[in-house]
Amino acid sequence: MPPAEHPEFVGLIEALRAAQETITGARPPEDVARKARENLEEITRLLSPFTVGESEQLTGQMRGLPGRAQALAPAFHVDVEGNDRVSGRVVFGRFYLGGNGAAHGGSLPLLFDEVLGRLANTGGRSPSRTAYLHVNYRKITPVGPELRVEAHFDREEGRKRYLVGTIRDPEGEITADAEGLFVALRPGQP
Ligand SMILES: CCCCCCCCCCCCCC(=O)SCCNC(=O)CCNC(=O)[C@H](O)C(C)(C)COP(=O)(O)OP(=O)(O)OC[C@H]1O[C@@H](n2cnc3c(N)ncnc32)[C@H](O)[C@@H]1OP(=O)(O)O
């Protein structure tokens, strides 16, 4: 789904991410919190009539966009993408804060699943699904700065695709690495 065909929706997702960030970091007075809630409820009323089935929805389908226009995982910005490796950047914003300036432990597998899973399904390969994802937390993954993300194929054995990835802090040190097994689906497999 080319993002250029849906520029306003792309802007909507960017605004959603910004709202997630701002709400997470805010400590507003009660009247401001109520007004913000009413505005959010108005957005839900506005969009509800346009709910569609999974195959028609835009989020998750826009491969050319960071995070494929899905606001669940931290937005991964691709710099270099080949058939067997990918590298790019990510910022874990305030929305992903676990505590003490560190990204929430659950947000790292979200990113790795996105990055490794995306690579596992490129290069003309058939669709595959995560069978396992092993994440090593080497040191704190900081909230705020831009971090380098790299992933590549380790090996392929029949339907099994083994991929590995790293996240590096601005000093170049690995904060977390991961290995994932992605199993190619058999024809007709859900
Ligand atoms: C178009 C828009 C763009 C889209 C871009 C895409 C981007 C996407 C980005 C996001 C991507 C997000 C992606 C997501 O998040 S996908 C969502 C998360 N994942 C799931 O929900 C998967 C659920 N599980 C399954 O569906 C099945 O179990 C699968 C399909 C994985 C395998 O069941 P299946 O019945 O098919 O296969 P099999 O059981 O015969 O096993 C086959 C082989 O695999 C080996 N094995 C299996 N499991 C494990 C294990 N845990 N450890 C070690 N080995 C394991 C097994 O021993 C055997 O090996 P061998 O005996 O042959 O040697």
Q: Is residue 32 part of a domain?
A: no
Task: Specify the number of domains making up the chain.
Answer: 1
pLDDT tens, residue by residue, 63-97? 888 889 999 999 999 999 999 999 999 999 999 99
pLDDT tens, residue by residue, 55-69? 999 999 998 888 899
Q: Is residue 131 part of a domain?
A: yes
pLDDT band of residue 2 (cuts 50, 70, 90) is: confident
ipTM of the complex: 0.94
Q: Is residue 29 part of a domain?
A: no
What's the domain range around 177?
73-184
Q: Is residue 94 part of a domain?
A: yes
pLDDT tens, residue by residue, 115-124? 999 999 999 9
Counting from 1 in the atom list of ligand 1, the atom nearest the Cα of 68 is 3
pTM here? 0.95
Contact, 116 vs 155, CB < 8 A? no
The whole-angstrom separation of Cα 48 and Cα 55 is: 17
pLDDT tens, residue by residue, 175-188? 999 999 999 999 99
The whole-angstrom separation of Cα 1 and Cα 35 is: 35
Q: Is residue 93 part of a domain?
A: yes
Q: Is residue 104 part of a domain?
A: yes
Counting from 1 in the atom list of ligand 1, the atom nearest the Cα of 186 is 36
Task: Report the CATH number at residue 127.
Answer: 3.10.129.10
Residue 54 Cα to ligand 1 middle (Å): 21
**In a mutational test of the pocket of ligand 1, which residue from 70, 78, 129 has the highest number of ligand atoms less than 8 Å from its CB?**
129
